[in-house]
Structure 1
Amino acid sequence: MTVKLTNIRIITCHGEEVIEKGEVLFNEKGILDVGQRVNTDEHEIQEIDGSGLTVLPGLIDSHVHLGMDSSPDPFANMKNEGPEDIAFKAVQQGYRFLQSGITSVRNLGTRYNVDISYRNAVSVGTVVGPRVFAAGSPIVMTGGHGHVMAIEADGCDEVRKAARSQIKAGADLLKVMATGGVLTEGNDPGATQFSEEELRCICQEANKASKTTAAHTIGTDGIKNAIRAGVTTIEHAYLLDEEAVELMLKKGTFLVPTLLAPRLILDKPGAVPEYMIDKVRKIIADHKISFQLAHQAGVPIAAGTDAGTPFNTPGLLSDELALMVEYGMTNHEAIYSATLGAAKAIQKETEIGSIENGKAADLIVVSGNPLENIRCLDSLVYVFSKGAIVHHAPVNKQEKQEQIV
């Protein structure tokens, strides 16, 4: 079935272009036409009046952990789970992402490579879920951050072997831990873990296979090691400095800040283990400063939530974008970071991330104008994935007017 949206505001995310009262024509094959008016000779068209609504590309969450349960101590639970337990959670979570307008996720760590199997099941239609760009099991040093779900490796020979194993398993990208982390007990978040040489070996294997890389980073030295080694995206980056930012600009390295994740931990004192609270308290102020430093310098930014960490349930990307706006981004910049900016970070900008002819028909329709109020992203009316409706919440005219105001 071909769908035609009419009388609708279109945030194309292709440059700064916004079309007021435009039209979008699409089906399962992709976006067929977009503009002030579209033409078609087809007879079987579902026409949707978008008066008072806005259409924009489906959102991309660039940092999630399918199968991690968002409990106060997710690694403690994961340690005792089998692949079937994690797979069941991944299916449930994927559906929740989709219902929240997140039509693509980049998964940066799941035990047993369950995310790779889940991606395959979604792609053939066995289960309903978002597009998945899967890293599978992360690569960490022995005892490193996230070792519960990871491949442990030390030295260039071992990390090359681990990288090649993940590529053989079908990973879309490779995830590495360049520093310690908050969730791993006995682990200093600021401490470097893999050396620059080890990280470079992993990046070399990824490059040879035309794969991207993502590095978990908190401490400044580990951040710089990862950038110099050639990683595609720096995750979290609580402790950036000017030198690190200059390196990112020089290398074209993306930042995925995950601003929401530590806030959710601090919001639940007494629920999460005290060692997590202690770690976050020491670095959360620097996290905001680091994000602002990178943004003001022009570092490319992709939005991600770190879903799966404590109380970080699927579908909170709009909260992440609201924090980005609070910290200095314009609404359009925040939306771009979760659409075409995120697509560029995963090198899929020719397929998703903007409303252009020939791209996939992953679209969301919301009440009101998110360029004026970013929270309009919470007012979902339609979610389309590959041209099919996967979510519809009817809005009557009175409700529309109230939301627009």
Structure 2
Amino acid sequence: MTYLLKNIRVITCNGDDIFENGEVLFSEEGITEAGISVKKPEGAVTEIDGTGKTVIPGLIDSHVHLGMDASPDPFAKMKDDGPEEIAFKAVKQGYEFLAAGITTVRNLGTRYNADIKYSRAVKEGLIEGPRVFAAGRPIVMTGGHGHVMAVEADGPDEVRKAARQQFKAGADLLKVMATAGVLTESNEGPGGIQLNEEELRCACEEAANLSKTVAAHTIGTEGIKNAVRAGVTTIEHAYLLDEEGVQLMVQMGTYLVPTLLAPRLILDKQGIVPDYMLNKLNQIVDDHINSFQLALEAGVPIAAGTDAGTPFNVPGLLADELALMVYCGMSPAEALRSATITAAKAVKADSKIGTIEAGKTADLVVVDGDPLTDISILKNPVHVFKDGRPYQGTALNKVPEVQ
């Protein structure tokens, strides 16, 4: 079916191109034309009047965990889940992501490689869900952060083999743990170094051989630098950046995915989440925004991600992450690009998604009002199209509220 959005503000995310009263012609084959006016084709066209509304590219959440249930201790729950339970949760979460206008996710860790299998099911049309760039099982040191869902590997040779195993299983990218983390119980601080620079470099070399990317979980300063020097594509979280780390990221072209919202969803959950999580967070949370602002000011490319699946971090909170990024110094336009074209570039998919222009995949979200004036309106999509098809799930316009 061919659709024509008309009388609508079109934020293309392709440079500064905005059409205040524009049109977009698209179908399952992709976007045919976007501009002030388009040439209407012969044959049936479904017209949608967008008066007072804005259309943006489909949103991309660059850090999620399909199958992780957002419970107070999701790793403990995941340890008891079989592949069927994790798959069921992933399917439900996919509907919730789409309802929030999130048409693409980058999944950075799921037990049993369930995200790889989920991604295949979406591609084959067996289920409805977002496009998934799947890392499958993360690569961690023995006993490292997230080991309950991971491939444990020690030393360069084991890491190299683990990387090859993940690509054999169908992973689109690799997730590696360069430091300790908040959700894994241990005696070390959350920023302690885990996989070292040499080990990380082996994973990056294997990914580069296949033109794939690598995402590194990082909290501590030295772990961040190890990962950047090793050649990872994206640094996740980065609570404790310093000037040297930021300059390394600029020099290497490394992306930052800050996940600012994730820790703030659990800080007030004393007695609900395990004490060790709060004890770790209290050591680092005040530095998180400072690190984000340091990177922003230096021009580090930033892609938006929520860390969905972590405690109380349910699917669909990307608009809240963008609002927090704006609060911390980003312009609304920059924030929107971080969840569209910048995120697409981080997974080497910007030739297909991330902007509204002829030839791109028809992932589109329509909202009331102007998100460049009020970014929070992204929480309530009016229409969501993925691959040119409308999503009509019952969850539409029921995105959770975050205080």
Q: Secondary structure at the match of 1:97?
A: helix
Aligned-residue offset at 1:392: 8.0
* 1:118 partnered with 2:118: yes
* 1:173 partnered with 2:193: no
Aligned-residue offset at 1:386: 0.5
Q: Give the equivalent residue in structure 2 for 1:164.
A: 164
Would you say the 8 A contact 1:144–1:152 is kept in 2?
yes
Hey, what's the Cα distance between the residues in 2 that align with 1:233 and 1:298?
Answer: 14
Q: Give the equivalent residue in structure 1 for 2:90.
A: 90
Would you say the 8 A contact 2:113–2:136 is kept in 1?
yes
Q: Give the equivalent residue in structure 1 for 2:366.
A: 365
Q: Give the equivalent residue in structure 2 for 1:403.
A: none
Aligned-residue offset at 1:349: 0.3
The answer to which of 208-217 and 181-190 deviates more is 181-190
Would you say the 8 A contact 2:100–2:380 is kept in 1?
no
Runs of 4+ in 1 over 4 A off after TM superposition: none
Q: Give the equivalent residue in structure 2 for 1:8.
A: 8
Q: How does 1:5-404 map to 2 (within 5 A)?
A: 5-186=5-186, 187-391=188-392
Aligned-residue offset at 1:295: 0.3
Post-superposition CA distance 1:174-230 (Å, at most 9, x none): 000000000000142110001100000110011011110000000000000000000
TM normalised by structure 2 equals 0.97
Aligned-residue offset at 1:41: 2.5
Hey, what's the Cα distance between the residues in 1 that align with 2:121 and 2:268?
Answer: 35
Give the counterpart letter for 2:322 in structure 1: L
Q: Percent identity?
A: 68
Would you say the 8 A contact 2:3–2:25 is kept in 1?
yes
Q: Secondary structure at the match of 1:350?
A: coil
Would you say the 8 A contact 2:102–2:316 is kept in 1?
yes
Hey, what's the Cα distance between the residues in 1 that align with 2:189 and 2:146?
Answer: 12
Listed as ranges, the gaps of 5+ residues in structure 2 are 397-403
Hey, what's the Cα distance between the residues in 2 that align with 1:25 and 1:122?
Answer: 25
Aligned-residue offset at 1:354: 0.3
Give the counterpart letter for 1:25 in structure 2: L
Hey, what's the Cα distance between the residues in 1 that align with 2:315 and 2:90?
Answer: 10
TM normalised by structure 1 equals 0.96
Aligned-residue offset at 1:327: 0.1
Would you say the 8 A contact 2:144–2:180 is kept in 1?
yes
Hey, what's the Cα distance between the residues in 1 that align with 2:41 and 2:114?
Answer: 44
Q: Give the equivalent residue in structure 1 for 2:401.
A: none
- Cα RMSD, aligned residues only: 1.1
Q: Secondary structure at the match of 2:385?
A: strand
Give the counterpart letter for 2:179 in structure 1: T
Would you say the 8 A contact 2:260–2:289 is kept in 1?
yes
Listed as ranges, the gaps of 5+ residues in structure 1 are 396-405
Q: Secondary structure at the match of 1:175?
A: strand
Would you say the 8 A contact 2:95–2:393 is kept in 1?
no
Give the counterpart letter for 1:324 in structure 2: M
Post-superposition CA distance 1:48-100 (Å, at most 9, x none): 00000000000000000000000000000111111111000000001100011
Would you say the 8 A contact 1:382–1:392 is kept in 2?
no
Hey, what's the Cα distance between the residues in 1 that align with 2:320 and 2:280?
Answer: 22
Hey, what's the Cα distance between the residues in 2 that align with 1:57 and 1:212?
Answer: 23
Hey, what's the Cα distance between the residues in 2 that align with 1:377 and 1:388?
Answer: 19
Give the counterpart letter for 1:34 in structure 2: A
Hey, what's the Cα distance between the residues in 2 that align with 1:267 and 1:315?
Answer: 21
Give the counterpart letter for 2:342 in structure 1: G
Give the counterpart letter for 1:89 in structure 2: K
Aligned-residue offset at 1:281: 1.1
